[in-house]
Chains A and B, each alone.
Chain A
Amino acid sequence: MTQYAHAEHKNSAGSCHETGVQDVIPIIDDIIGRYRGTRGALIPVLQSAQNLLGYLPKEVLIHISDQLDIPYSEVAGVVTFYSFFTTVPRGKHTVRVCLGTACYVRGGKEVLDAISKELRIEVEQTTEDRLFSLEIGRCFGACGLAPVVMIDETVFQRVKPSRIRALLDPYRIGPDQEADHETN
């Protein structure tokens, strides 16, 4: 069942910012339909919805709560329990700064502050141009080369607060180039 959610993710990954809430409601209903009557439908349905939209807007959660007949408070309880779920729109790129013990003692906090200053957002926020979201991570398993920052799926090691701009700039290329890149 989770596999299905992953498939959805791949199909829609490219278009996640443009997809509107109203467009996905029928798709979500379709997914709910497949889970109806089975226990434990909530988490896979939430995963699919987040994969479609990049985040979980409240109106979608209310819709899911109504359709699955699970109180909205419980749906929110699940969404706030798992850090995987988010109710704020995501940026195109997710910047995760590790604050595990090793990274912390080797300046992870300073790196985080520098990124936060550079992007002008706090943790769990998204830049106005929807390019970056900032998050805290708990150990990416690269402690030997701490402090570590992960941008999307790429791990950067021994990051220095002074080199933050250089780190982020490659992700700031214009949308046209990127579109070209993707179609190739």
Chain B
Amino acid sequence: MCKITINGNPLSVQDNATILEAAAMANMRIPTLCYLEGLQPMGACRVCIVEVEGSATLPASCSTPVREGMVIHTNSKRVREARKTVVELLLSEHEGDCRLCERSEDCELRKLADELGIRKNRYEGEKPSSATDTSSVALVRDNAKCIKCRRCVQVCAQIQHVGVLAPQFRGYRTTIGPAFSDPLSSVACVQCGQCAAVCPVGAIVEHSHIDEVLSALENPHKHVVVQTAPAIRAALGECFGLAPGTLVTGKMTTALKLLGFDAVFDTDFAADLTIMEEGTELLTRLMAAHQTGDRSKLPQFTSCSPGWINYAEHYFPDTLDKISTCKSPQQMFGALAKTYYAQKVGIDPAKMVVVSIMPCTAKKYEAARPEMRSSGFQDVDYVLTTRELGDLIKMSGIDFTALEDSPMDAPLGISTGAADIFANTGGVMEAALRTVHAVTTGRPIGMEDLHIAVLAGLEGIKTASVTLSGTIGVWKFLEGKEVKVAVAHGLGNAAALIGHIRDNPDEFQFVEIMTCPGGCIGGGGQPRFTTDEVRRARIAAIYREDEGKQLRQSHENPAVQQLYAEFLGSPLGEKSHHLLHTTYEQHERVKSH
């Protein structure tokens, strides 16, 4: 332990703590800009400078460890003035108009300038010319607004192990972006949007579909249906000032109805369906391996996270055969909306528009993939992020927090608790094991509250095993067998897990990969800012949603059962194959010109 003084208050802190961490313990906030929790501090922006008595310079608190006897001032006149200068210099090289900017509400630079009382700028910097890169289906980058804090570089390289963003050129010509400042679409960006989630300013935002959705809603000849991913209900409230982890399922449904959607449905329905297909696929692969000894399609990897699919196609082509052929719930929903549902309500699918609300930017890319047209039309037309839905609701003058709850529509709005937990890391696995256990043994999984506790939580890689006993029927070959599963979230963790599996190919039977840290609840399209604390709050909300449902195992979903009886036949059947499954192919990492 180390004794220090911050702003006159004596404090005892851990030896290796930084000044920033020590100040936080003393409930003193030091503003930061480039700092990101959990990553090596870069000390790039110098907004977090403090005064240390006896030191000639003002050290950056995020990257300076405390020393015994340090006397620190976080808010002296000298600090305030220097900090103001730093922010003024950042502003002098920043080209943007707050009144017209996507980030005007939650921009960290704008907030900082405001907090420091900057009312005019004493410096005239060389303003970058606005060079907006709209080449990516999911994201828009505007280098003129970039303050070169490098958060996006760190997240893309260190959390996601993708590394398509890096500083290019030198000196005042430095830009942050893909190699040679080429368009984002020319490199193997997986479209996860984690860069957009951490960018403090409006330099990386999602490719908006708000205008397209508005015109569809205004078109009387269109039947516009909406699906909402499970992660939205635990985060949308944050757009309206509610605490992270506030469940707003009912209010969200009411808001969507007020916005004019003809039917409000749930991606949860398709998540239950995914479990039926993917669980059956797993059992089929296990049976094939048992009969032939060929384990080349095991472990089976989940396929619901489109960023992960992009990552595998670009970086791990040797896993493609092992990935479940199931489309993601978003795409299963789209394919069924324009076939099964269209037939049921007697609407021409050509006149139907499917909108999804997703916590994710990669879903925009997924919806636009050429394979995703098995209804004969683009199955999902537009994808709004949670943030965009928040904006749309505000734009429409709806007082969100005052809304009453309403239920989602039948049949594609009916779901079980197992579908809700698709929103967080470990959830797809837990949902799958609930059903796999029940199918193979005829009994629900014998765990408290049906939860597989070791799979919850924010540890990067998690493993669990379930031993099957009392197996029935064709599944007797699994009697006494241990089903070992692994879960990774964040693509860096995924890469590490895949490395382990290459060396230990027989260890696991089933592997869940989610692209974003924490899973979809931490997606690149969620309200900013997502810290671990926020992730935990959203996850807790998702488990509450699950526990609050009467049905908690996907195979019990009556609407899914009806779908099989009326339309699909059986899991992995002919129709499922056509509408609900897909294929993957290797993609190059850098497009050759």
Q: Which residues of A contact B (CB under 8 A)?
A: 58-59, 61-62, 66, 71-77, 80-83, 87
- How near does chain B come to A132, taking the closest CB pair, in angstroms? 24
Let me know if B187 and A72 touch, CB within 8 A: yes
Rank and list the top 5 A-B pairs by shortest CB-CB distance, nearest first.
Answer: A71-B163, A76-B179, A73-B166, A77-B166, A80-B169
CA distance A61 to B187 in the complex (A): 13
In this complex, which of A61, A71, A75 has the most chain B Cβ atoms within 10 angstroms of its Cβ?
A71
A58 partner residues in chain B, CB cutoff 8 A: 180, 590, 592-593
- A62-B590, A80-B169, A81-B169 given; A75·B179 CB < 8 A: yes
CA distance A77 to B168 in the complex (A): 4
Q: Which of A73, A81, A87 contacts B178 (CB 8 A)?
A: A73
- How near does chain B come to A147, taking the closest CB pair, in angstroms? 24
Let me know if B592 and A72 touch, CB within 8 A: no
CA distance A77 to B157 in the complex (A): 14
B30 at the A interface (CB under 8 A): no
A61 partner residues in chain B, CB cutoff 8 A: 179
CA distance A66 to B209 in the complex (A): 35
Q: Which of A62, A71, A80, A81 contacts B164 (CB 8 A)?
A: A71
B414 at the A interface (CB under 8 A): no
Q: Can you list 12 A-B contacts (CB < 8 A)?
A: A61-B179, A71-B157, A71-B164, A72-B163, A72-B179, A73-B168, A73-B178, A73-B179, A74-B157, A76-B166, A77-B166, A77-B179
Let me know if A80 and B590 touch, CB within 8 A: no
B165 at the A interface (CB under 8 A): yes
Other A-B contacts than A74-B166, A76-B180, 10 sampled, CB-CB below 8 A, are: A71-B157, A71-B164, A72-B187, A73-B163, A73-B179, A74-B157, A74-B163, A76-B178, A77-B179, A80-B180
- A71-B157, A71-B163, A87-B180 given; A76·B589 CB < 8 A: no
B344 at the A interface (CB under 8 A): no
Q: Which of A59, A62, A73, A83 contacts B165 (CB 8 A)?
A: A73
B170 at the A interface (CB under 8 A): yes
**In residues 91-135 of chain B, which contact A (Cβ within 8 Å)?**
none
B65 partner residues in chain A, CB cutoff 8 A: none
- A58-B593, A80-B180, A87-B180 given; A72·B168 CB < 8 A: no
B167 at the A interface (CB under 8 A): yes
In this complex, which of A59, A73, A76, A87 has the most chain B Cβ atoms within 10 angstroms of its Cβ?
A73
The chain A residue with its CB closest to the CB of B178 is A73
CA distance A77 to B181 in the complex (A): 9
**Chain A at the B interface: mostly helix, strand, loop or mixed?**
helix
Q: Annotate B184-204 by CB proximity to A: 1 below 8 A, 0 otherwise.
A: 000100000000000000000
Q: Which of B169, B177, B590 contacts A72 (CB 8 A)?
A: B590
- How near does chain A come to B149, taking the closest CB pair, in angstroms? 16
**In residues 550-578 of chain B, which contact A (Cβ within 8 Å)?**
none
- How near does chain A come to B143, taking the closest CB pair, in angstroms? 14
Let me know if B168 and A80 touch, CB within 8 A: yes
- How near does chain A come to B180, taking the closest CB pair, in angstroms? 5
B177 partner residues in chain A, CB cutoff 8 A: 73
CA distance A32 to B168 in the complex (A): 23
- A71-B157, A72-B187, A87-B180 given; A77·B592 CB < 8 A: no
Q: Which of A62, A74, A81, A87 contacts B589 (CB 8 A)?
A: A62
- How near does chain B come to A79, taking the closest CB pair, in angstroms? 8
The chain B residue with its CB closest to the CB of A81 is B170
- How near does chain A come to B381, taking the closest CB pair, in angstroms? 33
- How near does chain A come to B183, taking the closest CB pair, in angstroms? 13
**In residues 136-190 of chain B, which contact A (Cβ within 8 Å)?**
157, 162-170, 177-180, 187
Let me know if A72 and B589 touch, CB within 8 A: yes
Let me know if B168 and A76 touch, CB within 8 A: yes
CA distance A82 to B165 in the complex (A): 18
B589 partner residues in chain A, CB cutoff 8 A: 62, 66, 72
CA distance A71 to B179 in the complex (A): 9
B593 partner residues in chain A, CB cutoff 8 A: 58
- How near does chain A come to B44, taking the closest CB pair, in angstroms? 15
A83 partner residues in chain B, CB cutoff 8 A: 170
A76 partner residues in chain B, CB cutoff 8 A: 166, 168, 178-180
B163 partner residues in chain A, CB cutoff 8 A: 71-74
**In residues 437-477 of chain B, which contact A (Cβ within 8 Å)?**
none
Q: Which of A73, A80, A87 contacts B170 (CB 8 A)?
A: A80
- How near does chain B come to A20, taking the closest CB pair, in angstroms? 16
The chain B residue with its CB closest to the CB of A82 is B170
CA distance A72 to B169 in the complex (A): 14
Let me know if B168 and A59 touch, CB within 8 A: no
CA distance A108 to B480 in the complex (A): 85
CA distance A81 to B180 in the complex (A): 10
CA distance A85 to B62 in the complex (A): 34
A74 partner residues in chain B, CB cutoff 8 A: 157, 163, 166
A71 partner residues in chain B, CB cutoff 8 A: 157, 162-164, 166
- How near does chain A come to B112, taking the closest CB pair, in angstroms? 27
The chain A residue with its CB closest to the CB of B165 is A73
B157 partner residues in chain A, CB cutoff 8 A: 71, 74
CA distance A87 to B182 in the complex (A): 14
CA distance A66 to B589 in the complex (A): 9
- How near does chain A come to B343, taking the closest CB pair, in angstroms? 48
The chain A residue with its CB closest to the CB of B164 is A73
The chain A residue with its CB closest to the CB of B173 is A80
CA distance A77 to B153 in the complex (A): 12
B166 partner residues in chain A, CB cutoff 8 A: 71, 73-74, 76-77
A62 partner residues in chain B, CB cutoff 8 A: 589-590
CA distance A106 to B164 in the complex (A): 44
- A80-B180, A81-B170 given; A73·B592 CB < 8 A: no
CA distance A75 to B166 in the complex (A): 9
CA distance A31 to B407 in the complex (A): 65
CA distance A82 to B187 in the complex (A): 22
CA distance A40 to B179 in the complex (A): 19
CA distance A75 to B164 in the complex (A): 10
Let me know if B180 and A59 touch, CB within 8 A: no
CA distance A179 to B179 in the complex (A): 38
The chain A residue with its CB closest to the CB of B170 is A81
